[in-house]
Amino acid sequence: MGKCPICKLVTLLAGIGAVNWLLVALLNINLVTKILGDMTVPTKVVYTLVGVSGIILLVSLFKTCPCVAKQS
């Protein structure tokens, strides 16, 4: 992953999702549902963003980010 704003955002979102699962596993605290409610629309939006970020991260393993490609 490069260091463009999109890459940073994607990594940030996936990281937040990962840390949230860590908290669920260790402390049984789900920060997303604690803050936004259980399966409310905002919660689903967060989960969707985290999931999409994960997919983009996976794709980035095989394909360089377009913004990085532009710079080089």
Is residue 67 a contact point for Zn ion (CB under 5 A)?
yes
Nearer to Zn ion, 6 or 57 (CB): 6
21, two tokens: 């699962």
User: What are the CA-CA distances from residue 1 to residues 14, 41, 61 (Å)?
Assistant: 13, 30, 8
Neighbours of 1 (CB within 10 A): 15
Q: Does 65 bind Zn ion (CB under 5 A)?
A: yes
* List 7, 23, 24, 57, residue binding Zn ion (CB under 5 A): 7
List residues binding Zn ion (CB under 5 A). Answer: 2, 4, 6-7, 65, 67-68
